[in-house]
Structure formats: C-alpha cells, structure tokens
Amino acid sequence: MSTDAAVRAVRGGQVEPLRVSPARLRAALGAGAMAVTLLWAVQVRPSARLDALFATGAHLSGLLAGYGVLVMLFLMARVPAVEHGVGADRLAKWHALGGRWVLSLCAGHTALALCGYAMHRGTDLLTAVGELLGYPALAAATLGTGLLLGVGITSARAVRRRVPHETWRALHLLTYLAAALAFAHQLAGPEIAGSVLAVWAWALLHTTVAALLVWYRLVVPVRQALRHALRVVEVRREGPEVVSVRIRGNGLDELRAEPGQFFRWRFLQRRLWHTALPFSLSAPVRQDTLRITVKAAGNHTRRIRRLRPGTRVLATGPFGALTAHRRTRRKVLLLAGGVGITPMRALFETLPGGPGDLTLLYRASNAAQLVLREELEAIAARRGAALHYLLGPSDAAFDPLAPQALRNLVPDIAEHDVYLCGPPGMAGAATVALVRAGVPEEHIHAENFTF
C-alpha cells in the first residue's frame, strides 16, 4: 500500500485520511532548518575579529533555537495528517530529542552572545550580563530561556517520575510563553529586523504554528464535544484490575476512527475531569459506540472503574498510526503484552485476510491476566486465525519471546508484518527477538505511549 500522503487515495470506495510519512516530515523539517541557515548566511558580514565571530555564531544558534521551538510546538500540535502518518510515540520521541537540541542551542547562543559582547565592550562577563539585561528584548529572551530550561528539567526521566502528571502538563504550557518571548527577541535581531521579507516570513511561520495549535488543541476538541455528546453507557469488569468502558455518542462515523488508534479521554466526573489520558479503542466503532479497556495502573485509572453511566466524556482524536495502512505483506503477526492487547484485539477482528493469514500472540504472566479472552477466541474461530497465549513470569527460565520460540510458533515469521504493543520493556525485548528471528525491522510496526 502506498505511503504517499500528499494526496487522498481512494480505496474500496472510501477516502483515506491524509497522512504525512516520517521521511517526508523529516525532509520538511530539515529543509526548514536549511532555510533558516540560509537566512543567516546571506546577511553575514565576513570579519576576522574575534568579537564579530562570536556574534555571528550567536546569531545562527539563536535563529536555529527559535526555529527549533516552533518545531517542538508543531510536533505536539496534534495535526491529524502528521499523527496518522508518523505516529504519536515517534512524534513524542522526536519532541524529546528536539528539546535537548533546543536547550543546547539556547545555551550556545547565550554563551556566544556574552563572549562577543564582553569582547566588544572590553569588559568582564559579569558586567556584560548586567548591561545586556538592561535591554527589554534581551531580558525577555532570558526569561524565555529560563522557562524552557525549567520545562526541560521536569521532563527528565528521573524528575518526571516524581512529578504528578497534571503538574508536568501545566509546566509544559509555559513553552507557549517561552516561544512568544523568543519571538519578540528575534524580531529585534539583525537577521530578522534587517529585512522586511525576513520579518514577514518569520511572523508567518509563528502565526501558522500558533493557528495549528489553537485549531487542533482547542477548537476541534470543543467542536467534537458539542457535536458528538459522548456519555458512558456501561462499565464492565474484564479481569483483575481491568474494566471496559462503553461510550455512546452522535455521528461517531464522522471521526473516522480506525482500529489500532487511540483517543485522549477526559471523564467529567469528580476527581477525573482535570486529566486527559490516552487509551486505545479495544473494539471497532459500532452503532455510535466506542469502547476502551483500561487497566488500573494509578489513582486516575483506578477511579475509572467507578464511572457511572451517564457521565459526560470529552475525547480528542483519533490519534496514532498503528493501523492497517502500515501493512505491506499478506501475512500479519499481532504481538501483544498485558493491556497492550486492546488495539491488537480491534486489529485482530478487522485486518483483511483469509484463513492462515493472521496470527495473534498474547503475552501475560498467567491465565488470570488474559483480557478479552472470550472475544479473541471467538474472532480466531470465525476467521480461521491462529491464537497463542504466551504465559509465564517475565523472570522465568523459558522466554516465550525468544527468537527460536517465536520461530517454533510461527515458522514463516520472516514473511510477516508484525504489529506490536505492550509495556516498554516487553516491546523492546520483543523487537530485538523479532529481528533475530528474521523479521526485517521495517516490517515491525509498534506504537507505545506512556504518560
């Protein structure tokens, strides 16, 4: 199936969602960085003076840092074509990696600017700091850099584990203020202020990203809430600490949600309304009904078990790229671990294929931990698909996800596309085992998101 997301392809009488592939997005972002560098290069005035060299380096690093902040915001703007083509987990990884580069560029810009100014004025660095902070645009830039640094610190893995999710999200909103302060600073810089065209281009770039953020993170969710009027209709126990929540609304076919995708859910009930968390659909959309299956893993998910029918629900999405469009081969292996079975169950039912084309491997510590077991077995029987439970503790001597064990279960595993969803540790180990079992890495499709 073609991955060209530049046009809307029509297959089976349905118009597919527009998708931007990871390669195209990387190329576009790289082209933007080259354009920013070119903007700097055409205005550079060659000089062998050390202070001028420092200043030139400061200008380039500052422009790239400003562009990087816009890229970070764009990656998290939840643009459907990007989310559906690249995948939420990959976008989050790029966002995290890009954040480190932005902070490094900000640090380099600050150091180079201070050194250049101090040398030009013939003063020490401490005095240079005091003088530069007297300029409003530079004071704004300093505050913006401080805000970005604070966001970066709270995003570090060791810190984030200790910070409540709501607090972390609230601190991340400061990125918008940091971007606005950086924009004000950049308009005063020589590379931007020196050209009317550059001012307009830079302003247009910021306006476009701001418009995407407002539209997809504010307007679209509000519009969806008003249009679809989602409410909880049933909460059903599926296993130890696991429940399925059925949610009904109006015109849900308009969402064009695909098996394998997820929404960000906010339940308007006391102690739940303030947090929106991602949960995959555990069944295809039917008769204006959505279903998610949730395992208690914290205070918020435990409270979901006590949801009452009639509770209003706000859902934004669908998001994610773990869908049928990634498929490139006739045979498909679905590999799930724990509650990662939820998107796999929806795909198991809906992926096209005849008898023998589909195989589902479900990893769990014991039989009591298997979720949606009756549904899976009914689907397997109806479709002539293979279903295997891989049971046992993760520290057992026998590893059911070892390469040879996988080949024993699926002898022609190298000829399969593999869809993978499970806890990060399990997913990482399974990916290594699949590659060693002969599956090309480009045929392993995984999407893991944590919060």
- The predicted pLDDT at position 134 comes to 67
Does residue 117 surpass a pLDDT of 90?
no
- The predicted pLDDT at position 189 comes to 63
Does residue 141 surpass a pLDDT of 80?
no
**Which residue blocks in 355-446 are alpha helix, DSSP H?**
373-383, 403-409, 424-436
447 sits in which H/E element: none
Integer Cα distance of 338 and 401 in angstroms: 14
Does residue 312 surpass a pLDDT of 90?
yes
- The predicted pLDDT at position 364 comes to 87
Q: What is the mean pLDDT of residues 420-428?
A: 87
Does residue 142 surpass a pLDDT of 80?
no
- The predicted pLDDT at position 12 comes to 40
Does residue 103 surpass a pLDDT of 80?
yes
R_g of the chain computed on alpha carbons: 25
DSSP assignment string, 356-368: TSEEEEEEESSGG
- Going by C-alpha positions, the residue among 140, 64, 133, 49 that lies closest to residue 125 is 133
DSSP 3-state assignment of 181? helix
Q: What is the mean pLDDT of residues 378-383?
A: 93
**For residue 28, what are the CA distances in angstroms to 21, 31, 103, 177, 206?**
11, 5, 22, 25, 16
CATH assignment, 229-319: 2.40.30.10
pLDDT in tens, 185-204: 776 666 665 667 778 888 88
pLDDT-derived band at 13, boundaries 50, 70, 90: very low
Does residue 137 surpass a pLDDT of 70?
no
Note the pTM of the prediction, 2 decimals.
0.77
Residues whose CB is less than 8 angstroms from the CB of residue 53 and which lie 6 or more positions away in sequence, other chains included = 47, 116
278 Ramachandran zone, left/alpha/beta (phi>0; psi -120 to 50): beta
DSSP 3-state assignment of 291? strand
pLDDT-derived band at 3, boundaries 50, 70, 90: very low
- The predicted pLDDT at position 116 comes to 81
Does residue 15 surpass a pLDDT of 70?
no
| Tokens, residue 148 | 């970005």
Task: Kindly list the domain boundaries of the chain, sorted by start residue.
Answer: 10-223, 229-319, 324-446
Integer Cα distance of 150 and 167 in angstroms: 12
pLDDT in tens, 323-376: 888 888 999 999 998 888 999 999 999 999 888 899 999 998 888 888 899 999
DSSP assignment string, 227-261: HH-EEEEEEEEEETTEEEEEEE-S-GGGG---TT-
Integer Cα distance of 18 and 8 in angstroms: 6
The amino acid that residue 33 corresponds to is A
User: Domain 324-446: which CATH class?
Assistant: alpha beta
pLDDT in tens, 19-54: 888 899 999 999 999 988 888 887 777 777 887 788
Integer Cα distance of 116 and 53 in angstroms: 8
Contact 340, 368 (CB under 8 A): no
- The predicted pLDDT at position 9 comes to 35
Does residue 298 surpass a pLDDT of 90?
no
- The predicted pLDDT at position 2 comes to 36
Integer Cα distance of 269 and 159 in angstroms: 29
pLDDT in tens, 219-262: 998 898 889 999 999 999 888 788 999 999 999 988 888 999 99
pLDDT higher at 100 or 300: 100
- Going by C-alpha positions, the residue among 227, 247, 316 that lies closest to residue 278 is 316
Burial of 173 (0-12, 13-18, 19+ CB in 10 A): exposed
